[in-house]
Structure formats: structure tokens, C-alpha cells
């Protein structure tokens, strides 16, 4: 009986404990900013891993999401709506929502899970303790380069996703509705405002920071052996996905 009452209470306490510990880690992260020069090489390495190596998957996912948007627009457009409007729909959807959101979700799996598994393994094999014993700041050495790299590289990835998403939309519109490039661009320009692109970049910076900091947090506080690393990795993916969807709503409510 007591267990039934205390189980949810314990869960709530652990949830708030987790949030508190996450923000403490962010404080340590900001403290470690003073050592960014020492960790510059590390940061560049992470920029390659997080950014450059994610480009192929970002191109693929954004290309297909743009194509699907065009196909669905064509399906929903009646004969009264001019076909060039597909450019407007694809452009707005990709820039405002699809590119940042799909990129965020894909990178949660590719980048977030990798970061947690890497740092979590270092934790359970005492490598983080070894770093501390050698007078290194483990937050500065492990967390700062990853969070910086994520926050810097995500906007570039979103720009790539924007381009290939819109391009995929045109390819599909051309195949399905015979929309020429000229018509597609005409439709794209119809509703486009520079703020749409800026808004996507604001989302990119926010998602980049959220995904990498959540992944680092779960890796940094991993407990147990291989099972603990697996559990932490799963939690990272789940929490990051929910956080991205939540932040997506908050940013839209604030800026649109």
C-alpha cells in the first residue's frame, strides 16, 4: 500500500532532482567557458563529428521531407489553386518547421545517443575520474566542446536542410504537377519573408544546445555498467525528442 503511494512521489522528487542537477551542470559549463582556448582542438574535432559527418543523413531526410510536402500539397490542391502555390507551401513548411524539426529529431538519434554512450562509457570505466585526478576539468574537457560544437554546427545543418528540402519539393512538384523551376520560385517568393529563415536558425541554435546538453548530462551522470549506458542512451533520445517538440511550440508561440 505504502509502495503504491510513495512510488509516484519518489518519481516526482527524482524528476525535480534531475532538473536541478541538469542546471547545475549548465552552471559548471558556463564556468568552464574560460577554458575554451584549451579545448579548441577538441571543439573542432567535435564540430567535424557532429556537423560534417551528419551532412549526408541531413541531405537525405530533408530531401524526402520536402518531396513529401510537395506530393501532399499536390494531393490537396483543387484545380482552383494555381500549381505554383506548391512553392509557397513547400518553402514555408520547410523553412519554418520541417527542416529544423526533422533535423533535430534525426540528430537526437545520431548525435545525442552517441554523446551519451561515449561520455557514459567514460563514466562507468572511471575515465572521467581519471581526468579529474589529472587536474582536468571534465566539464570543460568533455561537455563544453560537444555543446559548443552542437550549438555552432546545427544552424549550418539547418541551412543545408532548408536548401535540400526546398529542392526536393521542386523535384517532386515538377514530377507530379509539372511545375517549372521558374513557377516554383515564383510561388516560393509569394509568402517568403527573411524572418522565416531567421526563425529556423533560432530554432537550430536552441535545438543544438538542448540536444547536446541533455546528451552530455545523461552521459555524465550514468550509473552502473553497460546496462546503465544503454539506459542513459535511451533516456537521452526520449527526453531530447520530447524537449524538441516542446521547444518547437514555445518558440513558435514566442516568435510567430
Partner 1 sequence: MIRVENLYKELGSKPVLKGLSFDVRDGETFVVIGKSGSGKSVLLKHLIGLLIADSGIVMIDGENIGELSFKGLQRLRRKIGMVFQSGALFDSMTVGENIALALSSKKEFTKWTVKEKVKEALEIVDLAEAEDLMPSELSGGMKKRAGFARAIALDPQYILYDEPTTGLDPVMTDMINRLMIKFKQQKEITSVIVTHELRIVRDVADRVLLLNEGKVAFNGLPAEIEKSEDPVVRQFMTGDSTLAIGEKI
Taking the CA atoms of 18, 21, 27 and 33 in sequence, report the sign of the dihedral they define.
negative
Please identify, using beta-carbon distances, which residue of 116 and 240 lies nearer to partner 1: 116
Binding mask 142-181 for partner 1 (x = CB under 8 A): ----------------------------------------
Residues recorded for the chain? 256
Please identify, using beta-carbon distances, which residue of 125 and 180 lies nearer to partner 1: 125
Long-range pairs for 122-131: beta carbons < 8 A, 24 or more residues apart: 122/219, 123/219, 123/220, 123/221, 123/222, 124/222, 124/223, 124/224, 124/225, 124/226, 124/228, 124/229, 128/220
Please identify, using beta-carbon distances, which residue of 44 and 81 lies nearer to partner 1: 44
Please identify, using beta-carbon distances, which residue of 140 and 187 lies nearer to partner 1: 140
CA distance readout (Å), 230 to 72, 104, 109, 139, 234: 38, 21, 13, 21, 6
Using the rule CB under 8 A, which residue among 21, 40, 129, 182 binds partner 1?
A: 129
Tell me how many residues contact partner 1 (CB under 8 A): 15
Using the rule CB under 8 A, which residue among 27, 60, 130, 226 binds partner 1?
A: 130
Please identify, using beta-carbon distances, which residue of 186 and 231 lies nearer to partner 1: 231
Instruction: List the grid coordinates of 39.
Output: 579545448
Q: How many whole angstroms separate alpha carbon 130 and alpha carbon 120?
A: 14
**Subset of 88-127 contacting partner 1 (CB under 8 A):** 121-122, 125-127
Using the rule CB under 8 A, which residue among 17, 21, 132, 249 binds partner 1?
A: 132
Q: Shortest distance, CB of residue 14 to partner 1, whole angstroms?
A: 13
Q: Which residue has the cell 516568435?
A: 255
Please identify, using beta-carbon distances, which residue of 52 and 175 lies nearer to partner 1: 52
Closest of 34, 23, 4, 99 to residue 61, by C-alpha: 99
Q: Shortest distance, CB of residue 128 to partner 1, whole angstroms?
A: 9
Q: Shortest distance, CB of residue 129 to partner 1, whole angstroms?
A: 5
Please identify, using beta-carbon distances, which residue of 31 and 189 lies nearer to partner 1: 31
Residue 136 binds partner 1 (CB under 8 A): yes
Q: Shortest distance, CB of residue 118 to partner 1, whole angstroms?
A: 9
What residues line the site for partner 1 (CB under 8 A)? 31, 121-122, 125-127, 129-137
Amino acid at each position: 500500500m505504502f509502495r503504491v503511494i510513495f512510488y509516484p512521489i519518489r518519481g516526482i522528487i527524482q524528476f525535480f532532482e534531475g532538473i536541478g542537477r541538469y542546471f547545475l551542470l549548465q552552471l559548471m559549463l558556463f564556468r568552464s567557458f574560460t577554458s575554451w582556448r584549451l579545448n579548441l582542438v577538441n571543439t573542432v574535432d567535435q564540430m567535424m563529428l557532429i556537423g560534417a559527418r551528419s551532412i549526408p543523413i541531413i541531405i537525405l531526410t530533408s530531401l524526402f521531407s520536402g518531396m513529401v510536402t510537395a506530393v501532399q500539397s499536390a494531393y490537396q490542391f483543387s484545380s482552383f489553386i494555381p500549381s505554383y502555390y506548391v512553392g509557397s507551401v513547400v518553402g514555408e513548411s520547410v523553412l519554418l518547421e520541417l527542416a529544423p524539426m526533422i533535423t533535430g529529431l534525426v540528430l537526437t538519434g545520431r548525435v545525442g545517443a552517441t554523446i551519451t554512450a561515449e561520455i557514459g562509457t567514460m563514466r562507468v570505466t572511471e575515465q572521467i575520474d581519471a581526468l579529474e585526478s589529472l587536474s582536468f576539468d571534465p566539464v570543460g574537457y568533455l561537455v563544453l566542446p560537444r555543446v559548443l560544437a552542437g550549438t555552432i554546427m546545427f544552424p549550418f545543418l539547418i541551412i543545408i536542410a532548408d536548401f535540400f528540402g526546398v529542392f526536393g519539393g521542386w523535384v517532386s512538384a515538377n514530377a507530379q504537377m509539372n511545375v517549372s523551376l521558374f513557377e516554383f520560385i515564383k510561388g516560393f517568393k509569394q509568402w517568403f519573408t527573411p524572418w522565416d529563415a531567421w526563425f529556423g536558425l533560432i530554432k537550430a541554435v536552441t535545438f543544438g544546445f538542448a540536444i547536446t546538453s541533455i546528451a552530455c548530462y545523461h552521459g555524465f551522470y550514468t550509473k552502473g555498467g553497460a546496462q546503465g549506458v544503454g539506459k542513459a542512451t535511451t533516456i537521452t533520445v526520449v527526453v531530447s525528442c520530447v524537449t524538441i517538440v516542446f521547444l518547437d511550440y514555445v518558440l513558435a508561440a514566442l516568435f510567430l
